[in-house]
Chains A and B, each alone.
With several copies, the nearest count.
Chain A
């Protein structure tokens, strides 16, 4: 029997507003390297994926992150099957 790769439990990433525009998509499923265990590590890894990602995620003060629909800090853990959303500061109301 073949080994199950972690790819089968991917992480779901969501991008909103300006980030969606810069990255060019609203969502994607990814399978980050095993070493990526925190929001901060994930942001740094994503920023290396291309200029759109880099532009969106460059300024940490302007990057809000929600894991499973809760606001979290850079040291919050992330793992397979998490829904991780990236967006600029909110402007509703």
Chain B
């Protein structure tokens, strides 16, 4: 399942909902991305996440479908926020569940790596010296390339 939303999410509630009443899940992996106050040397007062409505949902759904082709997953969830966020706020949640831990852990990492380079989101950071668009990191492309 994928969700794109302005409002916050509750990782614990999502994890609980995914495992409730099930006895076929041996391992569940989760990743939560949060807004940090410091980006290297720069202080962040707020961050605005812009996205491409329509294409974002489409790419997130494709990325999730790809994970489910690669690993035998009992369940998967990607929640990504957009709009204005402040340090400490949650940005993204990925949860995967499988009979075995290897599939849960690998697919969770795959989802966040792919999402970082494939999903059309952009971050505008606001700090004491003004606002600036975050530049893409080469290491994110490297992280994705592992999964080819």
Taking beta carbons and an 8 Å cutoff, which residues of A are in contact with B? Answer: 14, 16-18, 21, 66, 69, 71, 85, 87-93
Interface SS of B by simple majority: mixed
Interface string of B113-144 (1 = CB under 8 A from A): 00111111111100000000111110010000
B33's nearest neighbour on chain A, judged by CB, is A93
Chain B residues lying within 8 Å of A89, measured Cβ to Cβ, are 117, 135-136
- Interchain nearest-CB distance for A89 vs B (Å): 3
A89's nearest neighbour on chain B, judged by CB, is B136
Q: Which of B5-13, B14-22, B49-57, B66-74 interfaces with chain A? A: B49-57
- Interchain nearest-CB distance for A34 vs B (Å): 28
Q: List the 4 closest pairs (A to B, CB-CB), nearest first.
A: A92-B121, A89-B136, A17-B122, A69-B55
- Interchain nearest-CB distance for B33 vs A (Å): 6
Q: Is the CB of B55 within 8 A of A90?
A: no
Q: Is the CB of A66 within 8 A of B112?
A: no
The answer for the CA separation of A85 and B134 in the assembled complex, in Å, is 19
Chain A residues lying within 8 Å of B52, measured Cβ to Cβ, are 14, 16, 66, 69, 85, 87
Pick from B115, B117, B120: contact of A16, CB under 8 Å: B120
Chain B residues lying within 8 Å of A90, measured Cβ to Cβ, are 116-122, 136
